[in-house]
Chain A
Amino acid sequence: SQNFLPFILKQKLKMNNLLLFFMFSWATLRIERGMSIIDSMPLWAAPAIIAREPTSLEEEIKEIRRSGSNKDLDAAPEFEMSDIFYFARRGVESIMDDEVTKRFSAEELESWNLLTRSNYNFHYISLRLTVLWGLGLLIRYGFLLPLRVTLAFTGVGLLVFLTSVVGLLPNGRMKNFLSEKVHLMCYRICVRALTAIITYHDSENKPKNGGICVANHTSPIDVIILASDGCYAMVGQIHGGLMGVIQRSMVKACPHVWFERSEVKDRHLVAKRLSDHVEDKSKLPILIFPEGTCINNTSVMMFKKGSFEIGATVYPVAIKYDPRFGDAFWNSSKFGMVNYLLRMMSSWAIVCSVWYLPPMSREEGEDAVQFANRVKAAIARQGGLVDLLWDGGLKRGKVKDTFKEEQQKLYSKMLVGTQEDRSRS
């Protein structure tokens, strides 16, 4: 990808890389020394505060009744006043710590990484640490940020310009070849712009044409990370502004799947366009994030079944960021895109691992939801993330009443079930 750049630019990049490498190693050493100071202090944040046993509603309530009743269990009444203990305790447990709300805010670190933004319980610790932090601030904002912003503008500018140029060519092998090269090169410049240090694992499983690549979603940077290592057809809604400009010029060079805002609601239309795309083997694999929203990289939430209904081969990819060098999670309710990108570019670095998992297809007798859950479990396992059934949409919306109704049904069975047994005997 760097063959296309003039020699001078190449040298400049080499020097920048070297410089960045030294800065990075020095920063790492300082962070580790800083961490050892903090390790002697009480933990900032522990992963879980309370012990929650995964017992079922029935088991728990039976246990409560057993302990309180000296009567024979068969003759026990259907309802006991102590039954509410179960619901009360579960309720208060979820108030103290629940599995869902903490996924929508940045992961708490065990030790401080010298970025004020990750410092939730800020106490003044020592002069030394404050000096280190100040020095870090100077380097990050005075040196790293301007450098990265320049690279970012270069990368994006080149992407828009070159894809438009390639778009002028007639369709054919030359166009596809050039389009690939252009996309890869520009994404790699963007990767440098973020100082993203990515480790790709199992590249033999990389997605092929006619397939769908699914990955867990933490931030818009996910796209850059994956697209700098392979060529994908993007899927998404057409935006206005700069984003829209980029999208419109990208699609000139190779077929991405962009939807108008109105089309997004029409599930059949979306499914049709996606399946048309995968059937054409000359087109690139589609890249989709089935969670539908950014999650904070400690868990994988419910996958929307749309992409799993199409019947194409699915290539799962797990992306795990190392939060110590910079938290990549985009909390879209807190920060806008520009704010977010600035924060990314003024962190130490973005360090992440990408695993290409072996391709999966829907099996006999498996419906789309089960298939989606299977893929999700594989991604969660590989990335060391918690596999949750909850919908990422809970970030903004309310939970459906059906879950409450399920619990009510279970409990009702306990009350009514005993009556049926009684009438039998």
Chain B
Amino acid sequence: MGSRASTLLREEEIEEIKKETGFSHSQITRLYSRFTSLDKGENGTLSREDFQRIPELAINPLGDRIINAFFPEGEDQVNFRGFMRTLAHFRPIEDNEKSKNPTASEPLNSRTNKLLFAFRLYDLDRDDKISRDELLQVLRMMVGVNISDEQLGSIADRTIQEADTNGDNSISFNEFIKVLEKVDVEQKMSIRFLH
């Protein structure tokens, strides 16, 4: 109990996270509970091993890439703020948010930011382009050993052909958005909370 008291969430922090991510008060405390239960080292941050301990995540073919999304460039630990900031991408878009002040910065769970999250799963080197190699890597992770290199290669080529509009043989973020313009991103990249 003593060690928990030192990692308790203060009200000001909750307010800041609320403003930044849009989660409600109860959702934040609930996720804080979850964060501390994953934090086996009890030092207020999560490492990659902490995530890999979740069996359902460990068996997800894109598990490692998803875990990567939580860690900023070059870092090995993520604190609760960073944790929430990444999870915020999956918050459902509410109607009343669309009418908010247009000069305010884009919320983390906007359609564009959800697409950016998915884009970054492909774009490992963060050069804002999905190269053929990067696409192949992700495809390989998703299919395992079940499809041959040639077949996978032709799938990748076909995909780039369809998406690439400026002929540089890679997919930029704008081309990515164009390809997926009809997909119901708001629903498919959102996780519904029960409270």
Interface residues, chain A, with chain B CB atoms under 8 Å away: 42-43, 45-46, 48-51, 63-64, 67-70, 77-79, 81-102, 105, 108, 116-117, 119-122, 390, 394, 398-399, 401, 403-405, 407-409, 411-413, 415-416
Q: Are A85 and B63 in contact (CB under 8 A)?
A: no
Docked pose: A408 CA to B55 CA in angstroms: 16
Docked pose: A81 CA to B56 CA in angstroms: 23
Q: Are B57 and A64 in contact (CB under 8 A)?
A: no
Interface residues, chain B, with chain A CB atoms under 8 Å away: 1, 4-5, 8, 26-27, 29-31, 33-34, 37-38, 51, 53-63, 66, 87, 90, 117-118, 121-122, 138-139, 142-147, 151, 155, 158-159, 162-163, 171, 176, 179-180, 182-185, 188-195
Set of chain B residues within 8 Å of A99, measured between Cβ atoms = 56
Q: Return the contact of A415 from the options B58, B63, B147, B176 (Cβ within 8 A).
A: B147
Contact A81 B29, CB 8 Å, known A50-B191, A390-B55, A415-B155: no
Known: A50-B194, A51-B192, A84-B118. 5 other contacts (CB 8 A): A42-B26, A43-B26, A95-B54, A121-B8, A121-B29
Set of chain B residues within 8 Å of A78, measured between Cβ atoms = 155
Set of chain A residues within 8 Å of B55, measured between Cβ atoms = 98, 100-101, 390, 394, 399, 403
Q: Return the contact of B142 from the options A82, A95, A398, A411 (Cβ within 8 A).
A: A411
Docked pose: A398 CA to B27 CA in angstroms: 29
Q: Are A102 and B37 in contact (CB under 8 A)?
A: yes
Look across to chain B and name the residue whose beta carbon is closest to the beta carbon of A402: B59
- Some 19 contacts from A to B, beta carbons below 8 A apart, are A49-B30, A68-B182, A77-B158, A81-B159, A81-B176, A85-B188, A88-B62, A90-B60, A94-B56, A96-B31, A99-B56, A108-B33, A122-B1, A408-B144, A411-B61, A411-B143, A412-B144, A412-B146, A416-B147
Docked pose: A121 CA to B191 CA in angstroms: 25
Set of chain A residues within 8 Å of B117, measured between Cβ atoms = 88
Shortest distance in angstroms between A307's beta carbon and chain B's nearest beta carbon?
Answer: 24
Contact A408 B66, CB 8 Å, known A89-B191, A92-B90: no
Set of chain A residues within 8 Å of B171, measured between Cβ atoms = 81
Look across to chain B and name the residue whose beta carbon is closest to the beta carbon of A409: B146
Q: Return the contact of B138 from the options A84, A401, A409 (Cβ within 8 A).
A: A84
Q: Are B59 and A403 in contact (CB under 8 A)?
A: yes
Set of chain B residues within 8 Å of A97, measured between Cβ atoms = 34
Docked pose: A146 CA to B26 CA in angstroms: 41
Look across to chain A and name the residue whose beta carbon is closest to the beta carbon of B119: A81
Look across to chain B and name the residue whose beta carbon is closest to the beta carbon of A49: B30
Q: Are B146 and A416 in contact (CB under 8 A)?
A: yes
Contact A405 B155, CB 8 Å, known A48-B194, A67-B183, A122-B1: no
Contact A119 B1, CB 8 Å, known A49-B195, A88-B117, A91-B66: yes
Q: How many A-B contacts are there with CB distance less than 8 Å?
A: 181
Q: Are A407 and B183 in contact (CB under 8 A)?
A: no
Q: Return the contact of B56 from the options A49, A69, A86, A100 (Cβ within 8 A).
A: A100
Q: Which 8 A-B pairs have the closest CB atoms?
A: A408-B144, A68-B183, A412-B146, A94-B56, A91-B66, A403-B59, A399-B55, A87-B62
Main SS of chain B's interface residues? Answer: helix
Set of chain A residues within 8 Å of B58, measured between Cβ atoms = 398-399, 404
Docked pose: A31 CA to B38 CA in angstroms: 30
Set of chain B residues within 8 Å of A49, measured between Cβ atoms = 27, 30-31, 34, 193-195
Q: Are B193 and A50 in contact (CB under 8 A)?
A: yes
Set of chain A residues within 8 Å of B56, measured between Cβ atoms = 90, 94, 98-100
Docked pose: A63 CA to B139 CA in angstroms: 19
Q: Are A79 and B122 in contact (CB under 8 A)?
A: no
Look across to chain B and name the residue whose beta carbon is closest to the beta carbon of A90: B60
Q: Return the contact of B87 from the options A46, A90, A92 (Cβ within 8 A).
A: A92
Q: Are B182 and A70 in contact (CB under 8 A)?
A: yes
Q: Return the contact of B185 from the options A79, A85, A120, A403 (Cβ within 8 A).
A: A85
Docked pose: A28 CA to B53 CA in angstroms: 39
Q: Are B191 and A407 in contact (CB under 8 A)?
A: no
Q: Are A101 and B38 in contact (CB under 8 A)?
A: yes
Contact A85 B147, CB 8 Å, known A64-B188, A122-B4: no
Set of chain B residues within 8 Å of A63, measured between Cβ atoms = 188
Shortest distance in angstroms between B114's beta carbon and chain A's nearest beta carbon?
Answer: 9
Shortest distance in angstroms between A347's beta carbon and chain B's nearest beta carbon?
Answer: 16
Docked pose: A319 CA to B115 CA in angstroms: 48
Q: Are B184 and A101 in contact (CB under 8 A)?
A: no
Contact A412 B147, CB 8 Å, known A92-B66, A122-B4: yes
Shortest distance in angstroms between B33's beta carbon and chain A's nearest beta carbon?
Answer: 7
Docked pose: A119 CA to B138 CA in angstroms: 44
Q: Are B180 and A91 in contact (CB under 8 A)?
A: no
Look across to chain B and name the residue whose beta carbon is closest to the beta carbon of A405: B144
Contact A404 B183, CB 8 Å, known A84-B142, A89-B189, A98-B55: no
Q: Are B1 and A412 in contact (CB under 8 A)?
A: no
Q: Are A94 and B60 in contact (CB under 8 A)?
A: yes
Docked pose: A98 CA to B1 CA in angstroms: 24
Q: Are A415 and B143 in contact (CB under 8 A)?
A: yes
